[in-house]
Structure 1
Amino acid sequence: MFAADSVRKFVGPLLTLLLVAGVGTGIWYSSTDKLEADKVAERAAAMVTVKGLTGSEKLPFLQAPRVLAYLEKQGIRLEAMKAGSREIALRPDLKQFDYAYPAGVPAATKLQKEQNIRQTYPTFFTPMALASWKPVVAVLQANGIVEQRGKAWYIVDMMKLMRWMEEGKRWRDIPGNSQYPVGKSILVSTTDVRTSNSAAMYLSLLSYLANERNVVQDEAQLHQVLPLVTPLFLKQGYQESSSAGPFEDYVSMGMGKAPLVLVYESQFIEYLAKTPKAARNPDMVLLYPEPTVYTKHVLTPLNDKGRRLGELLANDATLQRLAVEYGYRVNNPNLFREVNQARGIEAPDNLLDVIDPPAYEILEKMITAIEQQMAK
């Protein structure tokens, strides 16, 4: 009897304690769940959808799950629609968007002036390059047009290549060409200069060479170079409106369709990063023209939401690293080297022979003149 009373005296308080603890724990969990639910609700309430236009070359980056997830943590639900960079600069319906994100400084400058924007956001950049193939490179190397330095290939005689194109030379006309003896005209395949920045950058490079290695600065020089550079666009035939198309043709259709294709370096590096080595064509080669021209990707905000996005893309360390993972260069060259070396991708740290494009007004006049010739 004594033992039973002792047990009851011990068990009773213990059960009471467990009951209190259970109730307390339930209240704590309920309170924690509510706090978490409140936080989720707060984040959802603070989330803004930011919608804009961008060149096709940046879509893989702007639609990448890691980029979208990181931006959502910052309260931004990003929407990006594809458009040619020159098209973006000339669109009349920009008020329905929060940002415009073309490729190239000329288009960004046009937007800034037209929309009366005080501040734009340079985010990252990439050089123009030519995607080619080992048999084609062998022909060019034998004729002194390209050379290899380290593990990178450079077009060291762009003037000679341009003369071949102006003369209408065909690949089979090149002396000693047994690697690629086809009847195609020697041309660089580009996008449509009427809509796309990459073709406008090619025009900038050609006009520089045609103007005795000087940036075209006035109408007299403009009229002098146009007869030389215009045929190099007209002879191409059908051209894609944005830069994704020519690169996709290069990858899928090979050397027969596209022996020399103007691309952004970032496109080539992104392809190498996401494609297993066994799945790549081993003859792919990237050529860096000397000189080349950089395409800077400048975000033009059209309202406060666009400014918030621009600040993040230009300054946030996580987003800058993600941009490098998608092939872009940022102000820190060490980051570009570090990321690509870790993936076994060879790319020069710096390019020394780089020119500026003409002023927007001059470039626009050249494009308009070529557009008029295309319409004939």
Structure 2
Amino acid sequence: MRFTIRDRIHRLAASRVSLESSHEPVRIGEGSHMETKRIPAKLIGLIALLAAVAIVFGLVVWNASRPASTTSQPTRTVTVDGYLGGEKIGLFDDPEFGRIAAAQGLDVSYRKAGSLAMMDADQKDLDYLFPSSRIAVEYGKAQGVKAVRSDIVFNSPIVIYTHKAVADGLVSTGLMSVKDGVYRIDMAKAVTAMEANRSWTDVGYAAGYGQFRIDSTDPVQSNSGNEYAALIATVMNGGAPATTESVTRDGPRVKAIFEKSGWMETSSEDSFSQFLTLGVGSKPMTVGYESQILDLAVNKPDAFKQVKDDIVIAYPTPTVWSTHTLMALDEKGERLLDLLTSSDVQRLAWRRHGFRSVDYTGDDSIARFGVNGVVDQVTDVAELPGNQAMQALITALK
């Protein structure tokens, strides 16, 4: 039978009453000279009360010192659903991410969409949008998307993926450079070559077919293509961030460069996958995120081993940062935002998926990934154009 502390107090109090009402006389002395004396009832009551207090105090201390019950009710789990940029699917599918989310009572699901496309899509019953830049966030606001809270979660620089033969060919003509194993591509020279309709042979890669181009995702649907467009517009504006006036002037030139690529993917992850699958003949160069090759190295080591000696990561000069920003549409979305900015998820996002954060990239070198030609510090970074200029650029590219 189990008794609570209150039960024990009542039982002790009852014992005290019994002692006071029916105690026996106490005999003192020896043999026939024994003398009978009574202990005062008040003294017996006091002793009983002190004993009761001591026992109750002991029970309280004992209960407080016991470990928490392992049979407590688990945290109620809620499902959080929203649109997610494809390059972050690896993180959301990571079993460790699922465990961290479950510990906070969240079951996170997603629907893949381009950063700009998700702003135009039906958002009914969704809890969040997770595009890859503040440009997409501002575009969404212009389309009437209302977030209760938003914040930058991860960062990743825009890079250009190519192949060793292509990179070395472009180095020979000065379009690219290499120092200490790190390749860089001069974006001003690249834009000039594309506008002049130079062939692959002209820029140093004799095995290439047709005109020199750098493929990307659709700039009006996906962030990596959109930021590449911003980079081209900035180069055309003499290196200063594009303005509404410069976009009006240069918009047709930017569009002509994208038309060289023909059909474009709408997801950065699909574009990177096609680059890996189709090879140098079909995809000599393509725009992507630095995080994509780092994610591949950790999570698909066999696939990475097959391509590691051929793939070259070229940092554009200048480049731009992609700021992956979560837009919480309701309270559940806010809980997801809190989860994503927690130290556990930030650490996981860097070490297993290559997303840079303030907390983990400073003391944890990028060399941990075993990827050739990547850098700890990204230099030669351009500022993205303002919101109005970007909206004008998107309109010009439609």
The reply to whether TM is greater than 0.5 is: yes
Match of 2:206 among 159, 169, 180: 180
Counterpart position of 1:132: 162
Indicate whether 1:307 and 2:334 are aligned.
Answer: yes
Instruction: Report if the CA contact (8 A) 1:53-1:100 is conserved.
Output: yes
Counterpart position of 1:245: 270
User: Per the alignment, do residues 153 and 332 of structure 1 end up closer, same or farther by CA in structure 2, a change over 3 Å counting?
Assistant: farther
- More helix per residue: 1
CA drift of 1:163 comes to 0.9
Instruction: Report if the CA contact (8 A) 1:129-1:263 is conserved.
Output: yes
Could you say what secondary structure the match of 2:309 adopts? coil
Indicate whether 1:98 and 2:124 are aligned.
Answer: no
CA drift of 1:366 comes to 1.5
Indicate whether 1:342 and 2:374 are aligned.
Answer: no
Indicate whether 1:58 and 2:67 are aligned.
Answer: no
Which letter maps to 1:366? L
Indicate whether 1:146 and 2:176 are aligned.
Answer: yes
Which letter maps to 1:291? P
CA drift of 1:147 comes to 1.7
Instruction: Report if the CA contact (8 A) 1:102-1:108 is conserved.
Output: yes
Q: How high is the TM-score relative to the length of structure 1?
A: 0.82
Quick one: distance in 2 between partners of 1:247 and 1:254? 11
Deviations 1:23-68 (A, max 9, x none): xxxxxxxxxxxx64x43x432xx21111111111111111111111
Indicate whether 1:160 and 2:189 are aligned.
Answer: yes
Counterpart position of 2:237: 211
Quick one: distance in 1 between partners of 2:353 and 2:260? 32
Quick one: distance in 1 between partners of 2:363 and 2:252? 39
CA drift of 1:182 comes to 2.8
User: Per the alignment, do residues 367 and 336 of structure 1 end up closer, same or farther by CA in structure 2, a change over 3 Å counting?
Assistant: farther
Quick one: distance in 2 between partners of 1:354 and 1:136? 24
User: Per the alignment, do residues 94 and 351 of structure 1 end up closer, same or farther by CA in structure 2, a change over 3 Å counting?
Assistant: same
Quick one: distance in 1 between partners of 2:128 and 2:331? 9
Counterpart position of 1:358: 385
Match of 2:356 among 325, 329, 333: 329
Counterpart position of 2:74: 42
Counterpart position of 1:369: 396
Gaps of 5+ in 2: 1-68
Counterpart position of 1:109: 138
Which letter maps to 2:268? S
Quick one: distance in 2 between partners of 1:78 and 1:70? 11
Report the structure number with the largest CA radius of gyration: 2
Indicate whether 1:223 and 2:253 are aligned.
Answer: no
User: Per the alignment, do residues 150 and 360 of structure 1 end up closer, same or farther by CA in structure 2, a change over 3 Å counting?
Assistant: same
Counterpart position of 1:193: 219
Instruction: Report if the CA contact (8 A) 1:104-1:296 is conserved.
Output: yes
Match of 1:284 among 311, 315, 319: 311
Which letter maps to 1:233? F
Instruction: Report if the CA contact (8 A) 1:135-1:180 is conserved.
Output: no
Instruction: Report if the CA contact (8 A) 1:63-1:80 is conserved.
Output: no
Quick one: distance in 2 between partners of 1:281 and 1:349? 19
Counterpart position of 1:74: 104
Quick one: distance in 1 between partners of 2:139 and 2:128? 14
Counterpart position of 1:7: none
Counterpart position of 2:296: 271
Identity of matched residues, % = 27
CA drift of 1:79 comes to 0.5
Counterpart position of 1:13: none
Quick one: distance in 2 between partners of 1:351 and 1:281? 21
User: Per the alignment, do residues 350 and 171 of structure 1 end up closer, same or farther by CA in structure 2, a change over 3 Å counting?
Assistant: same
CA drift of 1:225 comes to 1.2
CA drift of 1:118 comes to 5.1
Quick one: distance in 1 between partners of 2:363 and 2:84? 23
Quick one: distance in 2 between partners of 1:342 and 1:140? 29
Quick one: distance in 1 between partners of 2:330 and 2:179? 46
Quick one: distance in 1 between partners of 2:174 and 2:213? 17
Quick one: distance in 2 between partners of 1:231 and 1:336? 43
CA drift of 1:119 comes to 2.8
Quick one: distance in 2 between partners of 1:350 and 1:125? 13
Quick one: distance in 2 between partners of 1:352 and 1:278? 28
Aligned pair count?
327
Counterpart position of 2:199: 170
Gaps of 5+ in 1: 1-34, 372-376
Quick one: distance in 1 between partners of 2:296 and 2:141? 32
Instruction: Report if the CA contact (8 A) 2:149-2:329 is conserved.
Output: no
User: Per the alignment, do residues 151 and 241 of structure 1 end up closer, same or farther by CA in structure 2, a change over 3 Å counting?
Assistant: same
User: Per the alignment, do residues 180 and 74 of structure 1 end up closer, same or farther by CA in structure 2, a change over 3 Å counting?
Assistant: farther
Indicate whether 1:122 and 2:131 are aligned.
Answer: no
Quick one: distance in 2 between partners of 1:69 and 1:120? 24
Counterpart position of 1:20: none
Counterpart position of 2:58: none
Instruction: Report if the CA contact (8 A) 1:198-1:263 is conserved.
Output: yes
Quick one: distance in 2 between partners of 1:94 and 1:82? 13
